[in-house]
Structure formats: structure tokens, C-alpha cells
Amino acid sequence: MNKALPFSKAEIERIIEKYPTPFHIYDEKAIRDNARKLLAAFAWAPGFKEFFAVKAAPNPYLVKILQEEGFGADCSSLAELVLAEKAGLTGENIIFSSNNTPANEYIKAKELGAIINLDDISHIEYLDRYAGMPELISFRYNPGPLRGGNAIIGLPQEAKYGFTRKQLIEGYGMAKDMGAKRFGLHTMVVSNELDPYSYIATAEMLFDLVTEIYQTTGIRMEFVNFGGGIGIPYRPEEKRVDLNLLSREIKKAYEEKIVKQGLAPLRITMELGRMITGPFGFLVSTVLHKKEIYKNYVGLDACMANLMRPALYGAYHHITVLGKEDWPLDHVYDVTGSLCENNDKFAIDRNLPEIEPGDILVIHDAGAHGHAMGFNYNGKLRSAELLLRPDGEVKLIRRAETLDDYFATVDFCGFNL
């Protein structure tokens, strides 16, 4: 797969004149087009809704763009609830799915009218005590041992998330007794998965569970949420998940397991994040230094505070050296940042064209879990976020942090300075 860019070197150089590197930049047109493809693929599904996983790219401009395309928001914290609200989302356009949740977050979710998706059976009474049982409630299912696992999310039985099957049956009865009248079912057992059949298996599992819950308790599910987890092709040789194939197979399972059981209509929902914005965000950085010791290094003005996935997961992110796209990849470098951590590397032993200080590097697929996972260790400041509009305009949607921001929460008054 060709790792194309929505801008040229000359265009980026003009942007840098106003907004110095490092920065993240997002392609609005590509994000909108991608959102429309997903909705078109699942147009057959009654009441289909995608709740964008705000944690992937928590910028109100991006959430607003997706709201305009018909998406809701999947939130997992108070800040994400407020962000969704400021982007114009309220009520059942929000699903609140967190864990180890404090009471004030449940209260805010209830005030917004969000769908609350509980992570544990003990949270049923906790929610009712502090916020009151809503009319619509959902539970997250943890299926326990499954064949294989997923590199990021791990084996379900090792995960901290969700109800057991037995707890689900008991929990729905408890919630009904407390006043709940409408019910949903959620799970998420894969992350960054490129095999569509893993996601299809998730759908089949939930459809079967919907039938079992109805036969055991008489409770009909209003919706199922397959979670997120559809991956993106970080490596050039990888392929995107075929949404049309995914849709066809899920539709077959829906007709066999839901329609034939007399349990339709059952709304299908998702909470994709990475797949929606990931391929359409880029970290742009300038080479500051070269170092030649036991290995060859190039040092950027970005660091893992701008993109920590390679350090956290050993994740691959493709790198383009602007203006050298057609040069031979005949040099091997570790591409590093300036953090005082040896794992502060964007690439290890990467074949790239010859690089010199001043070159501009673009790190691909940084539009999800990139800027969002930033931090201030070592006093590093988080970079700006820019939006490339369909007409070519570039809009600043989050300014870069300053030293004043870094010290804003510190009280220096006690010092004799």
C-alpha cells in the first residue's frame, strides 16, 4: 500500500513558517470521506451508530467534524464527556464506558442523558446510589478465555474489563428491579486488528448472547456495541480492513441469529477510533542532529511525548523524508527524540534515505493515540495540532504548550526568588 501524503514539501515548508515543528496535522477531507464509507457500509443495519472513541483523538474540532457526519462519541472520563458536550453532542449520542469510575463522572453522564455502559456488577448499585438508575443501561461483557489473543488488548481473562457471563444475567435483573427499562450489550476483545473475521466473530458472539439473555431473563436487548478494535495498516505491506466484506458477514449473522430468533430490530453500534482518524494524522518534525557511534542516529525536535506508541508498544510508524521520497533507502538509522530515556525512539534500524540536519520527517498514521497520549515528563511540552481543511487552508486547532502552561499549576510564592 502506498503511504501517500495530502501535502507536498513546499506546502509543509510554508506551514512551518507560521507553525514551527513539531506538530500534528490532520486531513479533514480524508476523515470525512472515511466516516462516510463506514456509514454507507452499514446502511442496512437498523439504527446503526458509530460512537467515535474520543480517547483516540480528543480534539473538539475533530469530534465536531465527526458529529457533522452523524457520529456520536464514546467517552471514558469526565473530560471526554465535557469535550463531547462542547462539540454539540448530548443524550444518547454519547456512550459513557469507563472503569473504576468515580461518582461525579456517572453524575455528569446521567445529566447529559448519555448511555451508561457499566464495567462491573458492583457498579450497578454504585450508579443507582449516586446518580440514579437510568432508563437505558448497558453492560460490558468479558468472555474470558478465547482462542489466541490480541497483542494490544491481551487475553480477555487477563483484562480488567467487563462482566462474566453469569454476572451479566444477574446484573440485568438487578438493573431492571432498580427501574431500568431498556438494555444494551457491549464488548471489546481486540485492538488494532486487521483480520476482519476477528471482528465478525465478536458480532456472532454478541448475537448469540442476546438470544441467551432473552431466553434466560426475558430481557430484550435494544442494541449491541461491538466496541472498537478495527486496525489500520501501519506498515506499507498491510491492507485495510474491507468494510464491505465486514458488513456482509455481520449482516448474514444478524439475519441468522437475530432476525430468525424474532429479536429484530436490534441496533448495531460501534466505538471505532483508530480506524476513523488514525491514517489521516501526521507528526511533522525537523531533524536537529546526526550522531554516529556504534549505530547511526538522527535526532528530531519531536520526542515520545509527541508520539509514544513506538516506545509503549514497539509499534511501527512509517516515516517519509520530504523531498527524498524517491531516494534509495540505503542508510540505516535509529530515529530518536531528546527525552532522557533510551526507548525514546520512533524507529530502530530503519532503512531510510540519507538524512541531514534540517530535513523534514513525516511520521505517518499518527491521527489516533498520538497527540492524545502526550505527557510532560522531562519538562517536554506538547505540540500543536493543525487541521488541513478541504480547501487547503490550515487551521490551528490546538496551540503548542508553553513553559507558562507547564508551570501554571505550581505555586512559586513560597520561594524567595
pLDDT in tens, 330-384: 999 999 999 999 999 999 999 999 999 999 999 999 999 999 999 999 999 999 9
pLDDT bucket at 160, cuts 50 / 70 / 90: low
pLDDT bucket at 153, cuts 50 / 70 / 90: very low
Q: Which residues of 341-368 are buried (b: 16+ CB within 10 A; e: fewer)?
A: eeebbbbeebebbebeeebbbbbbbbbb
* pLDDT computed for residue 190 by the predictor: 85
* Residue with the three cell numbers 465535557: 82
Q: Which residue has the higher pLDDT, 3 or 127?
A: 127
* pLDDT computed for residue 191 by the predictor: 86
User: Does position 415 have pLDDT exceeding 90, yes or no?
Assistant: no
Q: What distance in Å separates the CA atoms of residue 382 and residue 310, rounded to the nearest whole number?
A: 17
User: Which residues does the annotation mark as catalytic?
Assistant: 340
* Host H or E run for residue 281: strand 281-292
Average pLDDT of the residues in 190-197: 92
Residues 6+ apart with CB under 8 A from 227: 186, 187, 188, 189, 190, 202, 270, 271
Q: What distance in Å separates the CA atoms of residue 282 and residue 15, rounded to the nearest whole number?
A: 14
- What tens digit of pLDDT does each residue of 171-182 get? 999 999 999 999
- Residues 327, 283, 35, 256, CA torsion sign: positive
CATH number of 279-407: 2.40.37.10
Helix axis angle, 78-86 to 103-112, nearest 10°: 20
Q: Which residues of 17-37 are buried (b: 16+ CB within 10 A; e: fewer)?
A: eebebbbbbbbbebbbebbee
- What tens digit of pLDDT does each residue of 251-309 get? 999 999 999 999 999 999 999 999 999 999 999 999 999 999 999 999 999 999 999 99
Phi, psi of 319 (to 5 degrees): -125, 130
Beta bridge partners, 394, equal 388
Beta bridge partners, 299, equal 289, 336
pLDDT bucket at 147, cuts 50 / 70 / 90: low
DSSP class of residue 230? B
* pLDDT computed for residue 310 by the predictor: 96
Q: What distance in Å separates the CA atoms of residue 128 and residue 180, rounded to the nearest whole number?
A: 10
User: Does position 152 have pLDDT exceeding 90, yes or no?
Assistant: no
* pLDDT computed for residue 69 by the predictor: 98
* pLDDT computed for residue 340 by the predictor: 94
* Residue with the three cell numbers 431492571: 176
User: What superfamily does domain 28-276 belong to in CATH?
Assistant: Alanine racemase (3.20.20.10)
Give the chain's mean pLDDT: 94
Average pLDDT of the residues in 144-168: 67
Q: What distance in Å separates the CA atoms of residue 249 and residue 201, rounded to the nearest whole number?
A: 10
8 A C-beta contact, residue 352 and residue 339: no
* pLDDT computed for residue 353 by the predictor: 98
8 A C-beta contact, residue 388 and residue 26: yes
Share of the chain above pLDDT 70, in %: 95
Average pLDDT of the residues in 212-229: 96
The residue among 115, 36, 38 whose CA lies nearest residue 73 is: 115
Q: What distance in Å separates the CA atoms of residue 80 and residue 221, rounded to the nearest whole number?
A: 26
Q: Which of 155-159, 178-182, 228-232, 381-385 is least confident?
A: 155-159
Average pLDDT of the residues in 383-387: 98
279-407 and 28-276 share a CATH fold: no
Average pLDDT of the residues in 91-104: 95
pLDDT bucket at 146, cuts 50 / 70 / 90: low
Domain parsing of the chain, residue ranges: 28-276, 279-407
Report the half-sphere exposure of 65 (CA within 13 A, side-chain side).
Answer: 24
Q: Is residue 229 left, alpha or beta, with left meaning phi > 0 and alpha meaning psi from -120 to 50?
A: left
Q: Which three cell numbers stand for residue 284?
A: 511533522
8 A C-beta contact, residue 80 and residue 99: no
Residues 6+ apart with CB under 8 A from 152: 191, 192, 313
Using only C-alpha atoms, the chain has a radius of gyration, in whole angstroms, of 23
* pLDDT computed for residue 138 by the predictor: 98
pTM value? 0.95
Q: What distance in Å separates the CA atoms of residue 34 and residue 52, rounded to the nearest whole number?
A: 12
Average pLDDT of the residues in 20-26: 98
Average pLDDT of the residues in 383-404: 97
Q: How far apart are the first and last CA of the chain?
A: 57
Q: What distance in Å separates the CA atoms of residue 361 and residue 317, rounded to the nearest whole number?
A: 12
- Coil, helix or strand at residue 94: strand
